[in-house]
Amino acid sequence: MRLRVFSPFAGLALSGCVLVVGCGGPMTEGEGGPDAGGDSPSGRDVQVVPTDGTVGMDVVRNDVVTPPADVVMPPADVVMGTCPAPPAGVTANAMAAHALTNQVRLAMGLRCQTMVTTINTAATNHCNYYSGNRAMAMCVSNPHAEVMGCPMFTGASFANRMTAAGYRGSPAFEVMAFVNNGTGSVQMWIDSIWHRTPVLSPWTLDMGYGSAAGCDTIDYGVGAGGSVPATTVASYPYPNMINVPPSFSGNEGPPPPAPPTGWPSGYPVHLYAQGVMWGAHTLTLEGSTTDIPHVWLAPGDPRAMGLLRSEAVLYANRPLTARTRYHVHVDTTRGGAPVPFDFVFTTR
């Protein structure tokens, strides 16, 4: 599986297979909010385009650092610990995508993402466009963009399409996959580096899924994300998680930095926090003080190509050992006060 990624924000033209804050490809693709890509010079648009016609992924991200408060009151799941059902009449794929997303978010201690009918419409329209125009390269050379004049055009950018479908919130991301499977596409995004960000972001709470032959799209809006405290922290794997995959193939575009020993690496560990200073970081076997060599990516690292903003990622240079407990410790501070990450997880 190979993908081609283009990032006007980062000035990159790379080969890869998956991507986040602006990517696209055969397994999955994505695009960010109204300031992303060509809509604004400040936007971030990384695109992964499938080259084998099978599977890939891509993501694009809005360049707004602090999400606007579209909804002021926190949703009921904060208190209830359950998620609202998707709208009546959604497809089985949409229901599966929504269910897996929120199953993982609740396990992380996060608020649920709400499935919004108008966003479902925008995402479905885009998959219909992509699937129906795959034979015309000029219509789908950028999987996230639609070309006026091509059949089934509904808007040049994902933000345009969400607005045209009637969404009145703040568009945030778009991700795409090419498997026509709600569960499979979401799991691929979660198991990646760049793509995982919008799926599990504490500050992105509206979503809509659409599919067609060889296409999955999720569009995201900020929704109630503006009311999520900036002091929120989260991780994936989450504390005491079990059955964590031991490895990651690196099959993502733009390509994440390869470990010195090459791919595969250990399974990626994602850390979410706003406004923090990232400090010392260790990955060890539980009970050991010996740091396992790993790759560390944080905001400002040029290897992250501008794709990390309120997130940091680490992954061991080599696959992790099966059925083993690992300890993650990262020193972070906010305003001089410590906000450490300290947790364990167990591989399958």
CB 333 within 8 A of CB 279: yes
pLDDT over threshold 70, residue 40: no
Question: Which of residues 182, 198, 227 is at a domain's end?
Answer: 227
Q: What is the reported pLDDT for 35?
A: 34
Are 241 and 182 members of one domain? no
Are 12 and 142 members of one domain? yes
pLDDT in tens, 197-229: 899 999 999 999 999 999 999 999 999 888 999
E strands, 133-232, are 171-177, 206-212, 215-221
pLDDT in tens, 141-159: 999 999 999 999 999 999 9
In 10 A of CB 236, how many CB atoms? 23
What is the H or E stretch that residue 173 is in? strand 171-177
How many structural domains does the chain have? 2
Average pLDDT in the chain: 82
CA gap 199, 326 in Å, rounded: 24
Are 189 and 319 members of one domain? no
Are 283 and 297 members of one domain? yes
CA 293 to chain CA mean position, Å? 25
Are 295 and 320 members of one domain? yes
Are 34 and 125 members of one domain? yes
E strands, 98-146, are 114-115
Question: Which of residues 202, 227, 252 is at a domain's end?
Answer: 227
Are 272 and 326 members of one domain? yes
Residue 28's domain comprises 3-227
CA gap 111, 78 in Å, rounded: 6
Are 286 and 219 members of one domain? no
Are 291 and 270 members of one domain? yes
Please state the pTM of the whole predicted model: 0.82
CB 170 within 8 A of CB 56: no
> What CATH code is carried by the domain that includes residue 323?
2.60.40.3780
What is the H or E stretch that residue 331 is in? strand 325-334
Q: Amino acid letter at 57?
A: M
> What CATH code is carried by the domain that includes residue 26?
3.40.33.10
Q: What is the reported pLDDT for 62?
A: 55
What burial class does residue 329 get, using C-beta atoms within 10 Å of its C-beta: 0-12 exposed, 13-18 middle, 19+ buried? Answer: middle
Q: What is the reported pLDDT for 251?
A: 86
Are 131 and 256 members of one domain? no
